[in-house]
Amino acid sequence: MQDRIYTADAEPGDDATVAGWVHEIRDLGGIAFLILRDNSGKIQVKFEKDDMDEELVETGLGVSRESVVKVTGAVEEEPRAPTGVEITPEEVEVVAPADPELPLDPSGKVDAELSTRLDNRTLDLRKEEVQAVFEIRAEILRAVREQFRAFDCTEINTPKIVATGTEGGTELFPITYFGEEAFMNQSPQLFKQLIAGSNVERVFEIGPIFRAEEHNTPRHLNEATSIDFEGAFCDQNDAMDVVEGVVTAAYEAIQENCSDELEALGLEDEFEVPDEAFPRLSYEEAIERINATGELDEQLVWGDDLPTEGEKALGDDVGGHYFITDWPSEIKPFYIKDHDDDEQLSTGFDLMHPRMELVSGGQREHRYEKLIEGFEQQGLDPDQFEYYTKMFKYGMPPHAGFGLGGERLVMTILGLDNIREAVLFPRDRQRLSP
Amino acid sequence: MQDRIYTADAEPGDDATVAGWVHEIRDLGGIAFLILRDNSGKIQVKFEKDDMDEELVETGLGVSRESVVKVTGAVEEEPRAPTGVEITPEEVEVVAPADPELPLDPSGKVDAELSTRLDNRTLDLRKEEVQAVFEIRAEILRAVREQFRAFDCTEINTPKIVATGTEGGTELFPITYFGEEAFMNQSPQLFKQLIAGSNVERVFEIGPIFRAEEHNTPRHLNEATSIDFEGAFCDQNDAMDVVEGVVTAAYEAIQENCSDELEALGLEDEFEVPDEAFPRLSYEEAIERINATGELDEQLVWGDDLPTEGEKALGDDVGGHYFITDWPSEIKPFYIKDHDDDEQLSTGFDLMHPRMELVSGGQREHRYEKLIEGFEQQGLDPDQFEYYTKMFKYGMPPHAGFGLGGERLVMTILGLDNIREAVLFPRDRQRLSP
């Protein structure tokens, strides 16, 4: 690739050509500064009005903020400059002028509503702290994939256009597929199981999932990124070990590789890698502990799903990530296996962050007859899922897995208020573009 | 995770418990062998009928092929066994019996039609050579991401549910999105450009794309994996450098890390990493060279798109990957920039493998007015794309990028006949499940 000097790489003593966005112009009278910004940081461009070519000064100081300019000149040390160096321009080219009326101020001096930010993501992402979120998001995905490979997993891609939903016909977006009815997949669940039943054995996928949920809350998206694992010859405890491994790997990678980003977010002091194994509470213990907090108006009884306030009370009580295991079978979907010695008790588990649920997983039902029964109990027609169930007749090993919400992981790690801050272009009931 | 002994790890002298699929049973009379297979390979289980517990023998030799069994016993050296060791069972447990009537023979002794294979992917993926394709596919994606990061790119995820297609309303799958019309995205093109225009500058995405093309050929899919790059302050030559980098990195990673898989595919001798830069032919040179081959009935003239036979003739002539650059502007989409000194000539390029096109890319039109003109020339209503075009008013730097077909990359690297062999669950006009 052609050589390019980033603003942060311009070294005193050199002549440099740097290109970037006009971050700010500070006019002090006889002297004025243009602060040029690119991916690497900022550099100060000095204009001494009386000593410089008039046209050059006019071009450099007349340009509107957020325009793209290219500056060539000598780089000198200047301790008072934000980065310790400044450039005295010999040439200034306006590569792409910006409309002076910006819908959003990337210098961050004026706060913007989230919807304005999302409508103008290009400008929004010119803010250091917004960019930092997405640099960290990318690092999380890198670290998670590396950790999956350390667990001997193979990356897979499963289809997003499907004939049936994972859990039946609700919450699905319908598609017209060459005249046939189809859906956007709400989870790779059934497909990853089909692969775990082959020689590949352990698989992971990071990809989009689509849910036509009516919720419009700060923690729901209609298109999200799911981080999925499935492993043959694994049980729910193995799957929890993998959860713990990948979530911890994400934190560790941020600590190791994202100190600038943490600083941009003001998190350099409070960021902490979880340093202990995540406690594994049974559902029964969980409701007991929730009841003991006294935070709920009504005591929970065995069989209840956990209300949001209950999760919150328990999260405050535990103070970090924790698993809830051994859920009542009724609450969990058909593909989750029950305990062999107690059919009322499933092997399903959730990983909770004090703020919200991150993961849902469990050992899967691998026995053909039991699987068919499960479909029927859930009111689903097993014939519609024959493409899936028939493979269970040909030696389907015991297997377990989970799905981890990618945006929820980013959101909880960085303490973001709204899950939409963890996605470049969120999709919700109101938002379909950009 | 719980300890597990893989068949390939069972060491002579140990007592081991191995679990896997019954690959084959060979009964020689007084002695019989069960070949057990898992992700790591195969192990021989020896039954000496007269010296062993009758029930054990019955269980071990009565089990149907592809059943999942667990065998515990002493591991001994046995030079005549396929892997040099064998296990004498003390315990055999049938974990998941398989229906003796298999729709597909994973031992590969009976050839199966592609459609039978795709209907029974779990069984199909128990074949070593099929598994090898997907292990290599995963390694390609890993290597490509690593190379993108070496080019300072940030991984992004862009939405798959969109309000408008990239290139207008054709070839789009319509979705009902909370009562509104929406589409499944045919390319991350517009979204990755919006991010390249921010401080993030260089981005890549590997994700699904959806095309409602009527083609049903061995090299088209209706849902495919696109490998996308976009870089600010890059031109078409930079983008070609990135193409060359990632494609070469994929080959190198396979050579370095996938020797077993290449062997399983019988490619260990013929596999070669491209060792020269990919030649960059202009469109004009390309048509001249095609005409010179004499393979076409009619000579091509400037402005013609290249017919498949023309690409084939040129591919045979060049003998390896090559770029075609400087296409007539008319053939390329609106977002490709024209050369400043010749508006008839675009900066668009394709990367060709002798068998087919792999990549389409170019420098992008970053000037607002020109972009709007381009929409109009292509018969598209720029107002519909306002979410995209408006960001070009606020300092959009020159930028370039490309899209690389993931399955085509796998297919050409491994010499697969049909692109469906490079996807776990392909989607085409006829196939919607599994």
- What would the DSSP string read from start to end of A348-394? -EEEEETTEEEEEEEEBP--HHHHHHHHHHTT--GGGGHHHHGGGGB
Inter-chain CB proximity A157 and B208 less than 8 Å:
yes
The answer to the question of residue A396 being in a domain is: yes
The ipTM (two decimal places) reads 0.97
* Residue A339 in tokens: 């305990």
Residue B314: its H or E element:
helix B308-318
Q: What is the pLDDT of residue B256?
A: 98
CB distance from B201 to chain A under 8 Å? yes
Among candidate residues A96, A112, A144, the one where a domain is terminated: A96
pLDDT at residue B307, rounded to an integer: 94
**Residues A194, A335: one domain?**
yes
B222 contacts in chain A (CB < 8 Å): 161
Q: A159 with A27, same domain?
A: no
Interface check B195 vs A, CB under 8 A: yes
C-alpha B7/C-alpha A201 separation (Å) is: 13
Nearest CA of chain A to the CA of B296: how many Å? 35
Cross-chain Cβ contact A223/B160 below 8 Å: yes
pLDDT tens-digit series, residues B60-112: 999 999 999 999 999 999 999 988 999 999 999 999 999 999 999 998 777 88
In chain A, residues with a C-beta closer than 8 Å to the C-beta of B9 are none
- Whose CA is closest to A425, among B191, B394, B393? B191
Q: Looking at beta carbons, which residues of chain B come within 8 Å of A123?
A: 198, 391, 394
Coil, helix or strand at residue A190: helix
Residue A172 lies in a domain: yes
Contacts of B197 in chain A (CB under 8 A): 122
Pair A235, A368 in one domain: yes
The Cα A268–Cα A163 span in angstroms is 47
Q: What's B174's domain CATH number?
A: 3.30.930.10
Bridging pattern class, strands B322-325 and B280-282: parallel
Q: Name chain A contacts of B119, Cβ cutoff 8 Å.
A: 387
Q: Are A158 and B424 a contacting pair at CB < 8 A?
A: yes
All residues of chain A having their beta carbon less than 8 Å from the beta carbon of residue B387 are 119, 433-434
List the CATH number of the domain containing B67.
2.40.50.140
Environment class of residue A372 by beta-carbon count within 10 Å: exposed (0-12), middle (13-18) or buried (19+)? middle
Chain A residue numbers touching B223 (CB-CB < 8 A): 159-161
Per the CB < 8 Å rule, is B394 touching A141?
A: no
3-state secondary structure of B186: coil
Q: What's the pLDDT score for residue A362?
A: 98
Taking the Cβ of residue B182 and every Cβ of chain A, the question of whether any pair is shorter than 8 Å is answered with yes
Q: Judge if B90 and B134 occupy the same domain.
A: no
Rounded Cα gap, residues B422 and B433, in angstroms: 16
Q: How far is the C-alpha of A14 from the C-alpha of A378, rounded, in Å?
A: 71
For an interface test with B, the pick among A127, A144, A198 (most B C-beta atoms closer than 10 Å) comes out as: A198
Residues of B numbered 363-402 whose beta carbons fall under 8 angstroms of chain A's beta carbons: which are they? 366-367, 387-388, 390-391, 393-398
A142 and A59 assigned to the same domain: no
- Domain extent at residue B32: 14-96
Q: What is the CA radius of gyration of chain B?
A: 27
The reply to whether B261 and B347 lie within a common domain is yes
CA distance A44 to A31: 12
For the question of residue A77 being annotated catalytic, the response is no
Cβ–Cβ under 8 Å, residues B201 and A39:
yes
| pLDDT at residue A116, as a whole number | 96
Distance from CA of B291 to the nearest CA of A (A): 32
Q: Which of B366, A46, A319 is nearest to B374 (CA)?
A: B366
Q: Which residue, among A163, A160, A148, A138, has the nearest Cα to B225 in the 3D structure?
A: A160
Q: Kindly determine whether residue A176 and residue B180, on different chains, have CB atoms separated by under 8 Å.
A: no
Q: Is residue A289 domain-resident?
A: no
CB B388, CB A434: distance < 8 Å: yes
Task: Establish if A9 touches chain B: CB-CB under 8 angstroms.
Answer: no
Q: Do A432 and B142 touch (CB under 8 A)?
A: no
The two tokens of residue A2 are: 């052609």
Specify the range with the lowest mean pLDDT, choosing from B1-10, B98-107, B343-352: B1-10
Dist CA B169 CA B385 (whole Å) = 12
Q: Count Cβ–Cβ pairs < 8 Å, chain A vs chain B.
A: 284
Picking from B96, B116, B144, the residue at the C-terminal end of a domain is: B96
Give strand pairing partners of A182: A175
Spatial contact of B240 and B323, defined as CB atoms under 8 Å apart = yes
The type of residue at B290 is I
* Residue A263 buriedness (CB in 10 A; 0-12 / 13-18 / 19+): middle
Of the residues A24, A135, A357, A373, only one is catalytic, namely A357
- Chain B CB within 8 Å of residue A86 CB: no
Q: What ranges in B23-180 are assigned the alpha helix state H? A: 54-62, 114-119, 121-124, 128-150
Low-confidence ranges of chain A (pLDDT < 50): none
| Phi, psi dihedrals of residue B373, rounded to the nearest 5° | -55, -45
A424 vs B13 pLDDT, higher one: A424
Quick check: is B305 in a domain?
no
State how far the Cα of A271 lies from the Cα of B19, in Å rounded to an integer.
43
Residue-wise pLDDT for B167-211, tens only, equals 766 689 999 999 999 999 999 999 999 999 999 999 999 999 999
Calpha distance B427→B409 (Å, rounded)? 18
The answer on B344 and B221 residing in a single domain is yes
Q: Does A98 touch chain B (CB under 8 A)?
A: yes
**pLDDT tens digits, A400-432:** 999 999 999 999 999 999 999 999 999 999 999
- Taken in order A193, A196, A197, A198, is the CA torsion positive or negative? positive
**Known catalytic membership, residue A357:** yes
Cβ contacts of residue A397 below 8 Å, gap of 6+?
A196, A197, A232, A233, A366, B19, B21, B68, B95, B96
Q: Is residue B137 part of a domain?
A: yes
Residue B285: inside a domain, yes or no? no
- Average pLDDT for B44-59: 95
Q: Which of B37, B97, B138 sits opposite A155 (nearest CB)?
A: B138
| DSSP track, A286-342 | HHHHHHHHT-SSS---TTPPPPHHHHHHHHHHH-S-EEEES-BGGGS-TTBPEETTE
Q: Are residues B129 and B229 in the same domain?
A: yes
Residue A172 near chain B (CB below 8 Å): no
Residues A28 and A177 in one domain: no
Is A33 part of a structural domain of the chain? yes
Choose one of A79, A96, A113: the last residue of a domain. A96
User: CB distance from B277 to chain A under 8 Å?
Assistant: no
Q: Which DSSP state fits B398?
A: P
Could you please report the per-residue DSSP string of A63-102? SPTT-EEEEEEEEEE-TTSTTSEEEEEEEEEEEE-B-SS-
Read off the DSSP letter of residue A193. H
- Domain annotation covers residue B297: no
Q: Which positions in chain B touch A120 (Cβ < 8 Å)?
A: 390-391, 394
CA distance linking residue A332 with residue A337, whole number of Å: 9
* Same domain membership, residue A258 and residue A357: yes
Closest alpha carbon to B76 in B3, B15, B8, B5: B15
Annotation says A219 is catalytic: yes
Q: Going by C-beta distance under 8 Å and a sequence separation of 6 or more, which residues neighbour residue A103?
A: A116, A119, A120, A123, B394
CB-nearest to A195 from B37, B158, B424 is B424
Considering the domain architecture, whether residues B235 and B372 belong to the same structural domain is answered as yes
Q: Is A220 a catalytic residue?
A: yes
Instruction: Report the distance separating Cα A31 and Cα A61, nearest Å.
Output: 11
A180 touches chain B (CB under 8 A): yes
Are A199 and B391 a contacting pair at CB < 8 A?
A: no
In single-letter form, the type of residue at position B3 comes to D
The reply to whether A399 sits in an annotated binding site is: no
Q: Is residue B69 domain-shared with residue B149, that is, in the same domain?
A: no
User: Taking CA atoms, what residue in B is nearest to A102?
Assistant: B394
Cα distance between residue A234 and residue B2, in whole Å: 8
Active-site entry in A219, A321, A353, A420: A219
A408 flagged as catalytic: yes
User: Which tokens hold the place of B61?
Assistant: 């030799």
Enzyme catalytic residues of B: 211, 213, 219-220, 357, 360, 408
Interchain CB contact of B21 with A (< 8 Å): yes
In a 3-state reduction of DSSP, which class is residue B356? strand
Number of domains into which chain B is organized: 2
Minimum CA–CA partner of B136 in chain A:
A154
Residue carrying structure tokens 């310790």: A84
pLDDT at B44 over 70: yes
- Chain A residues inside the 8 Å CB shell of B207: 207-208
- Is A65 designated active site? no
